[in-house]
A and B are shown apart, each in its own frame.
Chain A
Amino acid sequence: MTQWEVVIGIETHAQLATVSKIFSGASTAFGAAPNTQACAVDLALPGVLPVLNRQAVECAIRFGLAIGAQVAPKSVFARKNYFYPDLPKGYQISQFELPVVQGGALTVQVGSGDKAYEKTITLTRAHLEEDAGKSLHEDFHGKSGIDLNRAGTPLLEIVTEPDMRSSDEAVAYARALHALVQWIGICDGNMQEGSFRCDANVSVRPRGQAEFGTRREIKNLNSFRFLKEAIDYEVQWQINEIEEGRKIQQATVLFDPDTGATRTMRTKEDAHDYRYFPDPDLLPLVIDESWIDRVRGELPELPQQMRERFCAELGLSAYDAATLTASQDIAAYYEATLAVAGLANAKPCANWVMVDLAARLNKEGREIAAAPVSPQQLGGLIQRIADGTISNNIAKKVFEALWSGEGATADEVIEKQGLRQITDSGAIEALVDEVLAANAANVAEYRAGKEKAFNALVGQVMKAAKGKANPQQVNELLKRKLAG
């Protein structure tokens, strides 16, 4: 039986986080009443002209620098001509032969645990273009409504080489790209609102074959789950077709999340001739070195650099470093926590942020930026664990108290609620003696060889200490006394 290899390339449309549209002054805010954010230029009234938004160009430069690409000193806007009711000019202004960002790469973590591996995806290009409006087919009784609020919204179309070999790799790339565009502040990443959407070019070939198979392009996938499901379905479909002796036709397909299937939208035969030509209304986009240098100076530390630093300087594992740099908010939270708790607590800080805090946030569906416990509070808490003031168990209690606002700092909660760990060996000894005297039966069982009885005795001591006794000291004292 043939072993099949999957080949995937991804095109992503990232909506750029500019205040106004790419070629007009109208607002790009989402959710306004239809056609209230479309000015004369967006409506393509006779005589209007496009003027390029510098902010959109800066976003492209930021992206180019972040992926180590060449930012083209000169790029050209071209018209892509086709008729559609939500395309007001009858052409889309895009870039064709000379895109603003050329080349680049993104290294991503695929999978987790033992099976995790790194993969570098090569990017072909990224170019600036305008979005179209929306056609609304419901509520108009056999007619279509057109909302041009989105028309002219700036997009960066990011195109990879056919480098991915599984849906997991595709999703890992899409997630890393999604994190990166938000990290460098060029896209809000809101997939429900369509700010970040992917097209996947999928083909299969017998393992070992050099030529690519015929690809089909799955359009407009707006969640990572759909991306994975669509690719998995498509791959299986293509394999079945070939194995049943049919040929794959180049086509554009849509994924239906309800059925989990892809269906053909159009084949190569009815593909448009877009008649691209340079837009005579816009001069070539010239980006000089000083502009690039300024943008470079304004770039934050990038996730890749930060991951490497976390591993090298903090001794974190690659997995921890990747998790903590999943977004700029998480990374910022971690670094602020670490600043208070101290570098020696890098690993406990990582655990608290990745496990305890993440679980608590998850439970309430909150974003880390809106966490009720500040990094300063968490850092203070971790300090108290490190210096033995409280145990890990008590720390969870303190964390809950901070979460619900019962104190401004861990120290305040510990003091107010009397949670300081008892480390005074005299006090612990008194408690141990008390418990041993009151639980003769357990003592006898232990001495008869029942290990379980020991745990019961520890529990009793901790109960008497209201959980505050240093567990290690309790263990040691009990053992000594029982042995004696």
Chain B
Amino acid sequence: MIDKTLKQLAQALAAKEISSVELSTLFLDRIERLNPDINAFVTVDREQTLSMAAAADARIAAGTAGPLTGIPIAQKDIFCAEGWRTTCGSKMLADFVAPYNATVIEKMHRDAGLVLLGKTNMDEFAMGSSNETSFFGPVKNPWDRTRVPGGSSGGSAAAVAARLAPAATGTDTGGSIRQPAALCNLTGLKPTYGVVSRYGMIAYASSLDQGGPMGATAEDCALLLNTMAGFDVRDSTSLERPAEDYTRNLEQPLAGLRIGLPKEFFAAGCDAGVMATVQEAINEYRRLGATIVDVSLPNSHLSVPAYYVIAPAEASSNLSRFDGVRYGYRAPDYGNLDDMYMKTRAQGFGEEVKRRILIGTYVLSHGYYDAYYLQAQRIRRLIANDFVEAFKSCDVILGPTSPTTAFKLGEKSADPVQMYLSDIYTIAVNLAGLPGMALPCGFAGDLPVGLQLIGNYFDEARLLNVAHRYQQATDWHLRSPRGIE
């Protein structure tokens, strides 16, 4: 059961081979056994999970089940779920029990009938690429427990990779779905900005944040995205578009598909093993009938600097609400009001979060705003235009997801710039608001390598098709780490 895809699990549930309660119990037991070492979950609540599973079983029995009803999944601990502790990986919210549901939670659990297995570990407030900034400790990569799973959705990635959950959600502000998916041999999709509601998803950088699915296969991601996506009146940046079935194009042949390779993604700076694996994937696409074309994203080298102005600027403001006044952590001893603010925020936030709040505060300050924030916004438009140009000659863009495979725990945590560079291929996608995917394409040494696919706006169905056809021809995505039996 633990290696089944969502489609297979849905069939098993429909055929009454297993109940949702049994299936959920199976995964809860695995979490209980394996999580103490992997640390993928921050919160597990067996009682709530099993009561959701029982309700799902009732729906299945009553014939009112949806396609995924009864399947347990993990939620990144950035989504507010009513009655569940929702920490965002921070001491600031270590005891915060959400009094309301995020739209994603409502759609996936209340509407689609998925069962919530637990909340997964993450970099604090989604700021990190290794899951080492979490207040709840680092997550270990199931492929090599001395290495990071990537971040910020590292808990979700490790949970699915170790088969502690059949699938999970993540959020992606600069690569936080795609990079951990790549490092943990998963398939992950960051949708077009505005496709998945941000209501109830704790904001890091509002203009970049986007939720999405993480699973074993492209088909699983398509099925999950069907339950997550959709216009939401509670999110003003959510896009009002007709609902679509993201599985509809999965089987479409790739003959005639134009795949663009941005020369900037194939220049120096990428690990040779990763590059060789990506090249092999390109050959596979040729075999599948795709045409390979060269494209250019001339401003992509500016994406990391622009991102590290815009994202911290928004974060510095978004995180002001964590002030110790209404909820969350408050310093135990303080003098006056200013002292309470300072101590609460000094003690409640970790180093990386404080670093980004300081950067963000600086770039928005009087006298610096034009030179940093406005300049970064201009670069952002240039980067978006690069993609518009590139998509004139190709249908999807392909490259590596991350310049390296999973690195060692502690290896980059002392050097923020090295850490930031691990998102060098993913960040431009967020700045442009485009959909992007990561999918397994082989191994460098014993470590998984992720291929990145970037689509034009709202081209999720095509991306999923391009990934799915590859997964029909390869079996990298079916490989599991050892030691998770």
Query: Which chain A residues have a beta carbon within 8 Å of chain B's beta carbons?
Result: 40, 43-52, 79, 81, 83, 85, 88-91, 146, 273, 275-277, 280-283
Q: Given A49, A83, A85, A275, which contacts B234 in the complex, CB threshold below 8 Å?
A: A49
Bound complex: CA A48 to CA B337 (Å):
25
Binds A, one of B14-22, B92-100, B214-222: B92-100
Nearest residue (CB) in A for B125 is: A46
Interface contact B236-A49, CB-CB below 8 Å: yes
Interface contact A46-B326, CB-CB below 8 Å: no
CB distance from A212 to the nearest CB of B (A): 22
Residue B42 at the chain A interface, CB threshold 8 Å: no
Residues of chain B lying within 8 A (CB to CB) of residue A47: 79-80, 98, 102, 198-203
Residue B366 at the chain A interface, CB threshold 8 Å: yes
CB distance from A98 to the nearest CB of B (A): 14
CB distance from A201 to the nearest CB of B (A): 20
Residue B133 at the chain A interface, CB threshold 8 Å: no
Nearest residue (CB) in A for B92 is: A46
Nearest residue (CB) in A for B80 is: A47
Bound complex: CA A45 to CA B419 (Å):
30
CB distance from A291 to the nearest CB of B (A): 17
Interface contact B317-A46, CB-CB below 8 Å: no
CB distance from B236 to the nearest CB of A (A): 5
Interface contact B317-A277, CB-CB below 8 Å: yes
Bound complex: CA A282 to CA B206 (Å):
10
CB distance from A41 to the nearest CB of B (A): 9
Interface contact B364-A49, CB-CB below 8 Å: no
Interface residues on B, range: 35 or more
Contacts A81-B317, A85-B337, A90-B320 given: A43-B237 contact, CB under 8 Å?
A: no
Contacts A45-B99, A52-B236, A280-B207 given: A275-B361 contact, CB under 8 Å?
A: yes
Q: How does the 8 Å CB contact mask read for B353-387 relative to A, with 1 for contact and 0 for none?
A: 00000000100111001000100000000000000
Q: Given B80, B198, B200, B234, which contacts A51 in the complex, CB threshold below 8 Å?
A: B234
Contacts A91-B320, A273-B365, A277-B373 given: A85-B235 contact, CB under 8 Å?
A: no
Interface contact A48-B86, CB-CB below 8 Å: no
CB distance from A269 to the nearest CB of B (A): 14
Bound complex: CA A283 to CA B206 (Å):
12
Residues of chain B lying within 8 A (CB to CB) of residue A90: 317, 319-321, 323
Interface contact A281-B326, CB-CB below 8 Å: no
Interface contact B320-A81, CB-CB below 8 Å: yes
Interface contact B206-A43, CB-CB below 8 Å: no
Nearest residue (CB) in A for B96 is: A46
Interface contact A46-B364, CB-CB below 8 Å: no
Q: Given B79, B98, B100, B326, which contacts A44 in the complex, CB threshold below 8 Å?
A: B326
Residue B313 at the chain A interface, CB threshold 8 Å: yes
Residue B473 at the chain A interface, CB threshold 8 Å: no
Bound complex: CA A275 to CA B359 (Å):
13
Residues of chain B lying within 8 A (CB to CB) of residue A51: 233-236
Contacts A47-B80, A49-B199, A277-B369 given: A88-B234 contact, CB under 8 Å?
A: no
Residues of chain B lying within 8 A (CB to CB) of residue A43: 326-327
Bound complex: CA A40 to CA B96 (Å):
14
User: Using a CB-CB cutoff of 8 Å, which residues 282-327 of chain B contact chain A?
Assistant: 313-314, 316-317, 319-323, 325-327
Residues of chain B lying within 8 A (CB to CB) of residue A45: 80, 98-100, 327
Nearest residue (CB) in A for B328 is: A46
Interface contact B321-A44, CB-CB below 8 Å: yes
Residues of chain B lying within 8 A (CB to CB) of residue A50: 236
Nearest residue (CB) in B for A148 is: B326
User: Using a CB-CB cutoff of 8 Å, which residues 73-114 of chain B contact chain A?
Assistant: 79-80, 86, 88, 93, 96, 98-100, 102
Nearest residue (CB) in B for A282 is: B236
Residue B407 at the chain A interface, CB threshold 8 Å: no
Which 10 interchain pairs have the tightest Cβ spacing? A90-B320, A280-B207, A275-B364, A280-B206, A47-B200, A44-B321, A46-B202, A47-B202, A47-B80, A273-B366
Q: Given A49, A85, A91, which contacts B317 in the complex, CB threshold below 8 Å?
A: A91
Instruction: Pull 21 A–B residue pairs with CB atoms less than 8 Å apart, ordered by A.
Output: A40-B99, A44-B321, A45-B80, A45-B327, A46-B80, A46-B93, A46-B202, A47-B80, A47-B98, A47-B200, A49-B236, A50-B236, A51-B233, A51-B235, A81-B320, A85-B323, A90-B317, A91-B320, A275-B316, A277-B317, A281-B237
Q: Given A85, A273, A276, A280, which contacts B325 in the complex, CB threshold below 8 Å?
A: A85
* Given A45-B80, A46-B86, A280-B207, 8 other A-B residues pairs in contact with their CB atoms under 8 A: A47-B198, A49-B198, A83-B323, A85-B323, A85-B325, A89-B320, A275-B365, A277-B373
Q: Given B93, B234, B321, which contacts A89 in the complex, CB threshold below 8 Å?
A: B321
Contacts A45-B80, A46-B88 given: A88-B326 contact, CB under 8 Å?
A: yes
Residues of chain A lying within 8 A (CB to CB) of residue B326: 43-44, 88, 146
User: Using a CB-CB cutoff of 8 Å, which residues 181-199 of chain B contact chain A?
Assistant: 198-199
Interface contact B202-A280, CB-CB below 8 Å: no
Bound complex: CA A228 to CA B152 (Å):
58
Interface contact B317-A275, CB-CB below 8 Å: yes
Residues of chain B lying within 8 A (CB to CB) of residue A49: 198-199, 234-236
CB distance from B135 to the nearest CB of A (A): 15
Residues of chain B lying within 8 A (CB to CB) of residue A276: 364
Contacts A280-B206, A281-B206 given: A83-B341 contact, CB under 8 Å?
A: yes
Residues of chain B lying within 8 A (CB to CB) of residue A146: 325-326
Residues of chain A lying within 8 A (CB to CB) of residue B361: 275
Bound complex: CA A443 to CA B235 (Å):
93
User: Using a CB-CB cutoff of 8 Å, which residues 233-280 of chain B contact chain A?
Assistant: 233-237
Residues of chain A lying within 8 A (CB to CB) of residue B86: 46
Residues of chain A lying within 8 A (CB to CB) of residue B327: 43, 45
Interface contact B365-A79, CB-CB below 8 Å: no
Nearest residue (CB) in A for B310 is: A280
Bound complex: CA A90 to CA B326 (Å):
12
Residues of chain B lying within 8 A (CB to CB) of residue A277: 313, 317, 364, 369, 373
Bound complex: CA A51 to CA B235 (Å):
7
Most buried by B among A46, A49, A81, A88: A46
Nearest residue (CB) in B for A24 is: B234
Contacts A46-B202, A280-B207, A281-B237 given: A88-B337 contact, CB under 8 Å?
A: no
Residues of chain A lying within 8 A (CB to CB) of residue B79: 47
Bound complex: CA A81 to CA B314 (Å):
11
Interface contact B364-A81, CB-CB below 8 Å: yes
CB distance from B206 to the nearest CB of A (A): 4
CB distance from A361 to the nearest CB of B (A): 46
Interface contact A283-B202, CB-CB below 8 Å: no
Residues of chain A lying within 8 A (CB to CB) of residue B322: 46
Most buried by B among A43, A45, A79: A45
CB distance from B199 to the nearest CB of A (A): 5
Nearest residue (CB) in A for B327 is: A45
Bound complex: CA A88 to CA B235 (Å):
19
Residues of chain A lying within 8 A (CB to CB) of residue B205: 280
Nearest residue (CB) in B for A274 is: B366
Nearest residue (CB) in A for B198 is: A49
CB distance from B395 to the nearest CB of A (A): 29
Bound complex: CA A276 to CA B374 (Å):
12
CB distance from B118 to the nearest CB of A (A): 18
Interface contact B99-A88, CB-CB below 8 Å: no
